[in-house]
Structure formats: structure tokens, C-alpha cells
Structure 1
Amino acid sequence: MVRIEDKRSDKAAAFAQRMNRVLDFIDTHLPETEPLRLEALASVAAFSPFHFHRIFRAWTGETLQDFIRHRRLEKAGGQLVHNPTTTIQTVAQHCGFTSAEAFSRAFSQHFGMNPSAWRAGGYRHWDPVQGRARGDRPCAGLDVRMRCEPARTVAYFRVVGDYRETAEAAWKQCLAWVTEHKLETQARFGMALDDPQITPPSRCRYDACVLLPEGWEPRGERVSRKRIEGGLYACLAYSGAPSGIGAAWLSMLGEWLPNSGHCLSEEPFVEVYAPHVVPNADSVAVELCMPLSD
């Protein structure tokens, strides 16, 4: 007999999947200058347009248009720093702004400085929680290797919040599901989808993912799945406490990338774990893979 608690848990999981589809759809369509219509987004999640704006606000803590605007600006903030040869106007276009003037005005209102000042080093003073200067982190020489990775289809489990807490929670869900479906031999991937130096911790999204065998389908169950795009990646091996992964990413961004002659692509960063590794253990071995434009 199915318990009431199990039914409630299944409904909550299905609801989260529907909302995550909307957030993924928004991210995919940020470069478009045409407004993302409420009706279209409601359709993605199979909600009534009449109720969707209230559901979205309850889920994210802000209105749909505020959320889209913040995502565009956060994405632009990352591109300005990590793609230094890309013009500000091109960044504006890639993030869905119709003109450089509109972009500069919105950027200044959100970050308290214009895009040029941000790119010139002002981003180092941005703290999404307290808005005060943050000291630079020293880093040693890095053994970064570049290689081409294939595209992969994964099941994912998303938790939103401070990465210091959400990664462990996401992996707890993911690993339980992996064990239940006997997928222990499949590779695992972690994806922090937002830059914690720009996006407030309460809105940072972390996906714990497992590679799905080709043609594999779960029985009688829906699970969120997506494609991790293939292409050129810069990869760094890291061993140590999970809490040090963020500093390792910053080392790649601050030391290796500016001197590499490469620019970031728009795909998310990926943590690659071997099948035997438990990503939420006290100490982990992981490969940090940063997507590059060809």
C-alpha cells in the first residue's frame, strides 16, 4: 500500500522537475531580445498561465520579469570578466539586451558600476551578500590539460541555495537514486550553474548528475534529464575537501584563463567524478572541466 507521505514526496519531486524545466528554458533563451512570454513559460511547465506568475514567485522569491532580468545581468557579469576580448555591445546582445545603452543602464543599476568599470576590476569588489571588497585568493601553478569531450545525456537532481550546503544535499538525492536503479558504474557530474561571486547564495543552483546509458529508460518514473554539451574543455585534477573546489575554480579563472589565449564558451562548468567516487565524502578526487570556445 502506498503511504500518503510517499505520494506527497512524489508530487513535490514532479513539481520541482516542472519548475526546473522553466528555469532551464529561461537560461537557454536569454540571448533572445524578444520578451520571454509568461504563456510560453507556463506551457513549458504545464501550468495554467492564470496561476503561473504566482507559482513562479512562490518558487523563486521574485517575479518572472525580475528573475529574467537578474539572470541576464548575472550572465553578462561573468562574460565581461571571463571573455575580455568580447566587446561590451556583443555581451549585451548575447544576454538579450536590445542596445548597449539599455544594457549599461540596467547593469549600473544592478551592480553599482558600469560594465567597463566592472571588467576593469570592479567585479572584485562585488559581494552578492554584503556588497564589500573581497580579497584575492593566491594560487600556485596549475597543471591544466585541454581535451575534447563528447556530449552526454544525464539525469540530474537540483538543489538551490548556498553551494556550501546544497552540493551535499543534491548528491544525497542523486546517489540514492543511482543505487536504486543500479547505475553505480556510471560516471557522475556536478554542475554549479551560477557564479557565487555574482549571484546571491539563495539563488545559486547545483545539479548532481549521473550519465545515462544509451537507450536507458526508468520504469514508471519521471526523472529530470538534460544534455551536457561536448566540445573543448580545459581540465584540472583536484583532490581534497569538497569545500576547496570553489577556490580551485577561481584559480583556473584568475590565473590560467587570462594567460591561455582562450575564451569561455557559454556552457556550464562541469565537475567530473569517476563512478567509484562519492562526491559528498570528506575528501574527493574530481576533474574540473571548464568549457572553451573553439
Structure 2
Amino acid sequence: MKASTEASYRQRIARVVEAIAADPAAEHRLDSLAALAAFSPYHFHRVYRAVTGEALADTIRRIRLHHAASLLVGSNRPVVEIAGAVGYGSAQSFARAFREFTSLSPSELQRLSQDHGAGAGAVRLRELPPMPLLGLHHQGPLSMIPHTFRRLAALATRAGWHGRAPASLAGVCQGDPESEADFSYFAALIRPDHADTQGALAVDAAGLTEMTVAGGRYASFILRGPYTLINATWEILFSAWLPASGHEPDHRPALELYRSEPGTAPALCETELLLPVRLPASPPLG
């Protein structure tokens, strides 16, 4: 596929994902989504899978459950109400889908967040060195971040980096994800220490970007479970752990380190969330 055609396909598919994310509870019929992307409905499901790496139904399910997790955190709303808000006809079908995807029931996640699930005992402070990264700036709706990682893997393999040395996947987050206009995300591989010149030239030719994240003190929390719970866990860290920690957020991006191999069952995935922190400045003497 030509680069210009591939970019056009991605932009058209992004419109579909944006529409699903804007109204997760809607029916989202295949023919209407295909029309939104200006593709034939007879072939849309194949084009969608080729561009995104997942079926359209899987995207809809993932977005609905991600939105549900955000609604459940710190909320006393009845589960049946949240089920309807994300497009499920009954609390039973919603609870079944949520547990299959997250290994938690909706009520368990509510209780976890209300009990300050990211409590002081689960968070540790780490001093990290600068982190060299190689990756792509995500473009499009946040729900397409997994697709950016798939594209990163393909480009890194083409450049000869993917699999050259042990590397972890990382996400660099800046801004408020609730306001996509003010939020940026960098999908990356953590570069090995021994980068060679030939590899660097191949990276440049593949269109990948190099970035180094500043070192310093981070609050580290290990999330064991599906990536759907990441945003909800960030909310717990900011609302429950941070105010009681004696620290304040530092002016560095937050990091997500994805520790699991591709293909790991969602319930077994492990993600390290790294919140940059510092001790508060002493107030000026009056």
C-alpha cells in the first residue's frame, strides 16, 4: 500500500473510532460507519481489520468497557445505569463482559477505587535515569493508541530495531486525557543502551522519532490487569494517593511501561504507571 493511500485509510478509519468514542452507547451499525469512512459496507470489516489490527466489534467493545471503567471509578452510580450509558441492555450482560475483559466485576472496581486501591502501600518511589525512547507521536482519537503501537512495531521491525535487543514498550503522556486537544501521547520502544550508527540511519529512514525522557523521582504503581483499567487507575493515583503522599506532581510527562509480551491475556497484563513527583517547595518566609 502506498504511503499516501495508507495515510488516507488511517484518517478515514480514525473518523469511525472518533464517532464510536463520542457515543459509546449508540448502536453503531456497520453500514453507517462504513459510510462515515467512505468505504463500501461489503468490504469495510476487512479494511478496518487490515488498518487497525482488530475487528470492528472488538473496538466497540473495548471503547465501551474503557468508558465504563472511567464512570465506575469513585462513583456510586448503580451498575445498571452505567451499563445503559455504555450501550449494554442489561446489568447482567454488562457485568459479564466487564469481568471477561478486566477480571473484575463493575462493583469490585467501584469498591477498589472507593477504598483508595492505589494506596500508599501499593505505590513506591523510584529514582530513574534518563530514558531513551524510539517511537511515534500518536495522531487521532485516544482509542486508536493500540493501532499506533501496531504501526510502531511494523516500522521498528523494518528499521531492524524490533527484536534486536530486549526492549519494553512505553507510553509518554502529557496533558489531560479528558481534553484531547491538550493531550499528547508518544508510543515508544525503550531503546537499548548500545545503539549503532547503522541502526540510527535505518530508524531515521523509517520515520521513527527519538526522544529522551528526563530522569528523576517517580511514584511507581504496578497495574495487573487489562489496559482498559489504565485511565481509571491514573484517576485513583491523582485523587487518592497523591494528596496524602506529601508530594506534588513534577513538570515532566507521566509514563506507562508495558511489561507484558504481545498476546498476553488481558487479565494477566502488567503495566507500570510512573507519576513524576517532587517535594513541595517551602513557602516563602513572611
Give the TM-score normalised by structure 1: 0.45
Give the TM-score normalised by structure 2: 0.46
